[in-house]
Amino acid sequence: MALAGGLLLANCSSTEVSLDYQPGLSQGAPGPRKMSAGRFADMRREGSYYIGTVRTPIGTPLERVNTKIPVEQVVRNAFAHGMSSRGMLAGRGAPYVLTGEILTLHTDQVIRPAAYAKIRVNVVRVSSGQVVFSRIYSGERENSAYLPGSGSPVPMLRELVSRALQDVVDRALDDSALRARLSPTPPYGPDIL
């Protein structure tokens, strides 16, 4: 039985896709230019390029969906584009670096195409290495309009996973709590007034 399953998986094709961040889709407000984009660790326990599988309604794998570059780089690039579109990307010498862990970045299609993203986002103070902010953000997209047998679902899956990732990026960068950590208010003291 395991041999038969392995043969089925070996017979399924593989397609490479590019994921994109589209600044025009978000309504992000400008933020403080104080961060650079750092490393995002892939914690998914999948291959660095794998993001999903197209399956028949009974679960037989038909096509693997992979990214053209490692998922770690895809996510870093998405956050860099998101920061740049908001005027938040500072480059070298930035006082903070945005890092994180990719917990989920997955797309699938059995009956309905769907995509899921879950990323822990950390803001690290460069001077001390201290994590000053950490939160998990999630995004999920689904398309109920797709009809099995109406063509390859891969372009739709690419779009869904791109938008799920963009939802995570936008939620993180527009989070007032994250932004507050970039511009902490000075404590009150006798010399303030």
The three-state secondary structure class of 76 is helix
Residues 6+ apart with CB under 8 A from 82: 21, 23, 26, 28, 166, 169, 170, 172, 173
Rounded to 5 degrees, φ, ψ at 81 are -65, -40
Q: Confidence class of residue 31 from pLDDT cuts 50, 70 and 90?
A: very high
Record the tokens describing residue 2, joined without a space: 């395991």
- pTM, rounded to two decimals: 0.86
Task: State mean pLDDT over 161-174.
Answer: 97
At 147 the pLDDT is 63
pLDDT of residue 112: 81
In terms of Cβ atoms closer than 10 Å to its own Cβ (0-12, 13-18, 19+), residue 150 is exposed
Question: Which of the 8 DSSP states describes residue 186?
Answer: P
- With bands split at pLDDT 50, 70 and 90, how would you rate the model's confidence at 6? very low
Show the domains of the chain with their CATH numbers.
2-21+30-182 (3.40.50.10610)
pLDDT of residue 144 exceeding 50, the answer is: yes
What is the per-residue pLDDT across 88-102, written as a single tens digit (0 to 9) for each?
999 889 999 999 999
- For all residues of the chain together, what is the average pLDDT? 87
